Structure 1
Amino acid sequence: MADPTTTVYRDLADILVKLPGIVRETRDRRKLSQRAVARAIGVCPSTMSRFERTGALDLDHTIAVLHWLDQLPPKEAS
């Protein structure tokens, strides 16, 4: 029987690997430029381009990407 923690980490890794493609497909479907998505997420256009090519993005901006994709609940006001 697989360790549940290992399974969660494996699932998370799979999502992170697929995320740049999901963003690209969603951006294309919404007919948005990388620049528009970068602005919505809060990164430079060059960072958005690099993310779509390599998947490299820090955690805060990865969370912002998930919010942009409507895959996380709205941020609560502090």
Structure 2
Amino acid sequence: MRLETKAIHSGRSIDKSTSSVTMPIHLSTTFERAQDGSYQNEFVYSRENNPNRRALEDCLTSLEDGHDCVAFASGMADRRSSCR
């Protein structure tokens, strides 16, 4: 696959709740919890991890033919940040 094709398609998926082909920007700072207090998906707090950052990481991983990627909101990395 050519680099241009990877750049357009990697990290993208159809939004299950709206059927949007372009990912919406998720501005929420926290995500919904279940009745028992657990989180129903992998997203807990948007500064730590969110759907937009995950899409960016997936796209960059594909473009670099890498194994994984971690993007940070600031220029400072934190060892405790979520990694896959």
**How high is the TM-score relative to the length of structure 1?**
0.26
TM-score (structure 2 length as normaliser): 0.25
